[in-house]
Amino acid sequence: MEVILVSPEAYPYAKAGGMGDVVGALFKYLPRRGIKTRLFVPGYPGLFDYPLKAMEKDVDFLFGETPIKASFYQLELGPQQSLIAVCNDRFFNREHIYGYQDDIERFIFFSRAIFEYLVRTQEEEFILHCHDWQSALLCAYIKIYWPPYRGKPAKTIFTIHNLAYQGIGKSDLLRLLNLPYNFFSHEYLEYYGNLNLLKAGLIFADIVTTVSPTYAKEITSPEFGEGLDGLIRALASKKRFVGIVNGIDIEEYNPQSDSSLVKGFSSNNLEGKLENKRHFLKDFFNWKVDTDFESKPLLTMIARLVRQKGSELILAQPDSFFQIPAFWFFLGTGEEIYEMGLKELEKRYSNVRVEIRFDEQLARLAYGASDIFVMPSRFEPCGISQLIAMRYGSIPVARKVGGLADTIVDYPFNPRLNTGFHFYEYKTEELLKTVQRAFEIYRHNKDLWKLIIKNAMESDFSWDKAIDKYVELYYSS
């Protein structure tokens, strides 16, 4: 039975965040299990760098009361694997994936276009797997409008990658949904007078998944439920809510062969990691090559600079963090308040460097060069960064929430088991104490530190386990 993935992003074709990695991995590894897999993504300009072929027919339909057309281009990657780009210049011929005033309208079109395509062309039974609010409406269309004379989907699955993003728009956008008007009610898609697209996935999918078991539990609480915890608690009593921890592509993220690094290394030979650190300090901190650089750890924070990611904890009390004899490197883009705040710190402290940009190659070098990876998230559905950091021997200091709780081991009574360090309360003092705890081991117990690096690098975060769980979910009764 064919699995159809629907997502606004999928690595390497289009990526803005962790969802792109997850969907890209599913698309890559499911066919290796002998599962026929199709992926629908918007037809962004970058996709046409690949050898896409126009499909025979465009699809016309009413978008609200306005006739509109969607074109479809296919990338055949083998008998078991194909990508379909959903194209319309008005909505997808843009420089970026998100960040436009009409994003809600764009992805309403995306779900509508895919439904119109499937309902006209799909012959065999299939499993539908939709990702985040951008494709949530498709779950509703399938459930409400799929004709009984066609082979219906065996199962619809909806994955929440980050509940903080729900696709909330003004109520007048309801006219574009082509759903009955009673769907604008608290029981369905209404949310405090607005339209909430993510609710369509929650309500109409057969199974809902999140990207870690802890996050699946957390979103039933007011603290993490983003205003939907009551609905989620009610739905969880009626349908399956499953948490599956993300993996990383260990073929892609391999410190022994990564061309972004100055020199490769492994858990049994860390000389290459020291070489990366030496070059990194020379390039970014003007540190002399012949100076002792091992006595001071290099701490990195690679993240979107938004409220979720916790840079405000450092900004609240910078003297306490930057008086520690260490180097600090920040990489990312986001909200102006955090970008400007960090750049101001760079002016005040000689041991701080800040790069406001998205740079995949620099990020990998920073993972490979750094000793400690700081991830003080307010919440974290799963997190990919801590998995990459551990793979590259950078030990995470992270808040114990969501996937950070599920993927990092911190056992204070026997730190020989550790792969990182946790703190619990979202407070500057808690983060500071945990950074200092990691620093003390780094500085005064080199043998233990090397063991923690070995534990982290040898942790199995490959996609094999996660793919097994998704396959079981697809085909279990």
Strands 126-131 and 168-169: unpaired
CA–CA distances in Å: residue 22 to residues 30, 295, 310, 423: 12, 37, 23, 26
- Type of residue at 8: P
CA distance 222 to 209: 19
Strands 81-87 and 66-78: antiparallel
CB atoms within 10 A of CB 218: 22
**Annotation: binding site:** 15
Question: Which of 118, 119, 144, 114 shows the shortest CA–CA distance to 43?
Answer: 114
Residue 213 near residue 245, CB atoms below 8 Å: yes
Strands 194-196 and 168-169: antiparallel
CB atoms within 10 A of CB 164: 14
Residue 198 near residue 208, CB atoms below 8 Å: no
Provide φ and ψ at 70, rounded to 5°.
-120, 135
Tokens of 39: 């992926």
**Annotation: binding site for ADP-alpha-D-glucose:** 15
